[in-house]
Structure 1
Amino acid sequence: MLAAMRTFELSPADRFTFAQRAAVLSAAYADYFVPLWVNAQQMEAMDQIYDVDARRSVVAHAGREPIGMALLSLRGPRGWISAVGVIPAWRRRGAARAMLRRLLENAAQLGLDEVWLEVIEENAPAAALYRELGFSAARELLTWRYPADGDLLPIPRELLQPAPVERALAHFAAWHGQPPSWQREEPTLRHLAARSSAYELWMEDALAGYCVVGERPDAISILDIGLNPDFGPVKAGRTLLQALAHRFRGRAFTMINVPADDDLSRALAALRFTVTIRQWEMRLPIIAR
């Protein structure tokens, strides 16, 4: 029925329930390079964690049925397009372009300075659309993984000590060589504080680094690593990662969207973490449009 209809409309995402939005997002990403399935509760959590403005986000719909969605997150003068997806039956009909144009119109009306997004390197059609709309590549982001059955990393003398997430994040601004991507920014981590754990690394009687992680029985998501520049980020990074692997032996590790030329990427590579996803972070200056 939906495929037979020729037109769609755009409406603010806050006019749809979390269940409706979760269903269309899951359907749109089911055959993506990295499939995504979310339920209503997870959809609501995404809004909160990434500061999605549902009023300025948009759902494309044929009649009353959602056929696509694009989400706009807001932090100060910056925006981030946190998701764009169209269900298979409605692709190549202009829905993605129309939704993105609406988001950029909303961004301009809000007076934002810039809008950011990421695109997986293999997704050439999406990258071409973003360039057509004025986005340009800013840097490459890497997702790193270490398997649960990987070789045991050397055990350092320095071991991690549990710490409150708030105490660890007090060093966030000073202990990153490059600005983290939106998913790893300080506001994201603070939204996740109740669902995550933090650990500190002490070397030579001084705090050398910290990590914030999400713990599951089979895997550890490394949400953030902050490294004291006084210790050398590669040395401190390697030691912290070794201590983390020792603490959670037998679990897989992942860390998303680390800048390719960041010292942390060099530390991950030195310990034989492998790159599973490459993305381009893209930027559009709104004022210059």
Structure 2
Amino acid sequence: MEPSSFSLVPAAQLPYDHLARLINQTFADYYLTVWLDAYQFERMCYEEDIDLTKSVVAMVNDVPVGISLFSIRDSQGWISGVGVLPLWRRRGVAIRILHHIQAVARSDKLANLRLEVLTQNAGALALYRQLGFRWERDLLVLTLEPGLFSYLSPPPGILRADPDTLLKAYHRFHSMRNPWQRELPSLEHRKKHLFGWGMWENDVLVAYILTHIQSGNYAIADLAVDPQLPHRLQLARTLLLALHTERPDMGCHILNVPTESPLLPAFTGLSYRIWHRQHEMIWLVPDAHPLIQPEGD
């Protein structure tokens, strides 16, 4: 690749349909099926605070060959959608894209960057380590097959509730950080597509679940229980059971449950299985952490 033929441009210079097509092409042979149309891509950008002026597209002779999406919330950054067309892999495209993102993080005085990578994606994992990203924790994608339960009405104390009411308890109910896609800003952005159930004890909300329908099955956006309650795990299991016995014909999945989550046994105890495992990795921006020695960039 001649240096003069290569350039990096803000993703905002391309229309949504072109960006969606590029994502689809770069992930066509990925471990997971990825397909977005222009509307879905635009909605994803809104829900995940993707800044297309700072996201980047790699061009060779003015033809898009690679992409990385970049989200910012306060001093935190998140990288997603890193992909390169098959013919242009292992030619330095991805590392130049990510060097650029790291430079933007420095200029914007961010504290850190996070990303997720499937554990089987050895090439990407090696690249991120080379660039100074470090393992932070593992996240699980969990799935449940339909037809495992019989129909039951929700038990007393579990009622439908609007997301605004439930999300008022978000910070109080979460004892550990949710992954980016399920942090409060993401939930707030997508709440018009969500519906939920709350669990009350003595007229006090003690737990909730938020979900939406995706491809005919449930997709859980958040499951949260008051961490001060000794029967926290039992409450989580009761909410999940109410969800699945009301519509036993529907399967379910949830993205990126931390392996150390105290609520993980509520899922596995109801026959959820691990579909994929991801490493959540972090890069501490050196200018924000002067005692950290830069690695690989």
Q: TM-score, normalised by structure 2?
A: 0.91
1:267 and 1:141 mapped to 2: Cα distance? Answer: 16
- Cα 1:51–1:216 shift into 2, 3 Å: closer
**2:142 matched residue in structure 1:** 144
Tell whether the 8 Å contact from 1:153 to 1:271 is kept in structure 2 after alignment: no
Tell whether the 8 Å contact from 1:158 to 1:203 is kept in structure 2 after alignment: no
1:155 and 1:275 mapped to 2: Cα distance? Answer: 28
Equivalent residue letter for 1:179 = R
2:210 and 2:244 mapped to 1: Cα distance? Answer: 14
Tell whether the 8 Å contact from 2:148 to 2:248 is kept in structure 1 after alignment: no
**1:121 matched residue in structure 2:** 119
Q: Deviations over 1:133-157 (max 9, x none)?
A: 0010100100111111334498873
Counterpart selection for 1:106 from 104, 107, 116: 104
**2:167 matched residue in structure 1:** 169
Trace 1:184-203 onto structure 2 (pairs within 5 A).
184-203=182-201
- Cα 1:9–1:143 shift into 2, 3 Å: same
Trace 1:120-269 onto structure 2 (pairs within 5 A).
120-152=118-150, 157-158=155-156, 160-203=158-201, 205-216=203-214, 218-229=216-227, 230-269=229-268
Trace 1:46-125 onto structure 2 (pairs within 5 A).
46-125=44-123
- Cα 1:241–1:159 shift into 2, 3 Å: farther
Equivalent residue letter for 1:220 = Y
Tell whether the 8 Å contact from 1:197 to 1:215 is kept in structure 2 after alignment: no
**1:282 matched residue in structure 2:** 281
Tell whether the 8 Å contact from 2:149 to 2:244 is kept in structure 1 after alignment: no
Q: Deviations over 1:3-39 (max 9, x none)?
A: 9999421111111111111111000011101120111
- Cα 1:131–1:4 shift into 2, 3 Å: closer
Equivalent residue letter for 1:49 = E
Instruction: State the shift of 1:217 in Å.
Output: 7.0
Tell whether the 8 Å contact from 2:157 to 2:201 is kept in structure 1 after alignment: no
2:248 and 2:215 mapped to 1: Cα distance? Answer: 11
1:213 and 1:93 mapped to 2: Cα distance? Answer: 41
SS in structure 1 of the partner of residue 223 of structure 2: strand
Tell whether the 8 Å contact from 2:75 to 2:112 is kept in structure 1 after alignment: yes
Instruction: State the shift of 1:269 in Å.
Output: 1.0
Q: TM-score, normalised by structure 1?
A: 0.94
1:199 and 1:224 mapped to 2: Cα distance? Answer: 11
**1:45 matched residue in structure 2:** 43
1:135 and 1:231 mapped to 2: Cα distance? Answer: 37
Superposed CA RMSD: 2.1
- Cα 1:119–1:72 shift into 2, 3 Å: same
2:53 and 2:82 mapped to 1: Cα distance? Answer: 16
Q: Deviations over 1:110-150 (max 9, x none)?
A: 00000000000000110110011001010010011111133
Instruction: State the shift of 1:75 in Å.
Output: 0.2
1:227 and 1:258 mapped to 2: Cα distance? Answer: 14
Point out 4+ residue stretches in structure 1 off by more than 6 angstroms: 3-6, 153-156
User: Mean Cα displacement is larger for which, 261-270 or 164-173?
Assistant: 261-270
- Cα 1:153–1:257 shift into 2, 3 Å: farther
- Cα 1:121–1:158 shift into 2, 3 Å: farther
User: Mean Cα displacement is larger for which, 29-38 or 153-162?
Assistant: 153-162
1:211 and 1:123 mapped to 2: Cα distance? Answer: 31
Q: Deviations over 1:134-186 (max 9, x none)?
A: 01010010011111133449887346311111110000001113110000000
Equivalent residue letter for 2:44 = M
Q: Deviations over 1:261-282 (max 9, x none)?
A: 1111111111111010100100
- Cα 1:195–1:73 shift into 2, 3 Å: same
Instruction: State the shift of 1:235 in Å.
Output: 1.0
Instruction: State the shift of 1:207 in Å.
Output: 2.3
2:254 and 2:266 mapped to 1: Cα distance? Answer: 12
Tell whether the 8 Å contact from 1:155 to 1:242 is kept in structure 2 after alignment: no
